[in-house]
C-alpha cells in the first residue's frame, strides 16, 4: 500500500479529485496554503494499492493544468510506503 500526497492549486482540486473518485480511488482533501505568494492550495491524500500507483499518477497528470510560469510546478507529489492500513 502507498500513500500519495498531492499538493496542488485550488483550481486543480476539483478536476483531479473528481477524476480520481470516478476511477475508484478514495481521496481526502485538506485545504492548505503555501508557496512563494501564499496562494490557495489543496493537499490530497490518496491511499493506493501498489499496482494502481501509475494509474493514479496518470490521472493526476492529465487533470492538472499547466503553469504559466515556466519554472513553477503544477503539483508536488509524495509517494510514501504505508506499513499498516486500517479502516474503522
Per-residue pLDDT tens for 17-37? 999 999 999 999 998 776 555
Q: How far apart are CA 44 and CA 23, in angstroms?
A: 15
Q: How far apart are CA 36 and CA 1, in angstroms?
A: 33
Residue 22 covered by a domain: yes
Is the separation of the CB atoms in 42 and 13 below 8 Å?
yes
pLDDT digits (tens, 9 = 90+) for 40-51: 789 999 999 999
Q: How far apart are CA 59 and CA 35, in angstroms?
A: 24
- Whether the per-residue pLDDT at 88 is higher than 90: the answer is no
Look at residue 7 in the predicted model and tell me its pLDDT: 92
Q: What is the CATH number of the domain that holds 33?
A: 3.30.70.120
Residue 87 covered by a domain: no
Q: For residues 24, 75, 35 and 71, what is the CA-based torsion angle, rounded to 10 degrees?
A: -170
pLDDT digits (tens, 9 = 90+) for 36-85: 556 678 999 999 999 999 999 999 999 998 766 655 678 899 999 999 98
Residue 43 covered by a domain: yes
Q: How many domains is the chain partitioned into structurally?
A: 1
User: Which domain, by its residues, includes 18?
Assistant: 2-81
Is the separation of the CB atoms in 20 and 29 below 8 Å?
no
Amino acid at each position: 500500500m502507498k500513500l500519495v500526497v498531492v499538493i496542488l492549486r485550488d483550481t486543480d482540486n476539483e478536476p483531479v479529485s473528481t477524476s480520481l473518485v470516478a476511477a475508484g480511488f478514495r481521496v481526502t482533501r485538506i485545504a492548505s496554503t503555501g508557496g512563494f505568494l501564499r496562494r490557495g492550495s489543496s493537499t490530497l491524500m490518496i491511499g493506493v494499492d501498489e499496482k494502481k500507483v501509475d494509474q493514479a499518477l496518470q490521472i493526476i497528470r492529465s487533470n492538472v493544468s499547466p503553469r504559466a510560469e515556466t519554472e513553477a510546478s503544477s503539483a508536488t507529489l509524495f509517494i510514501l510506503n504505508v506499513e499498516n492500513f486500517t479502516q474503522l
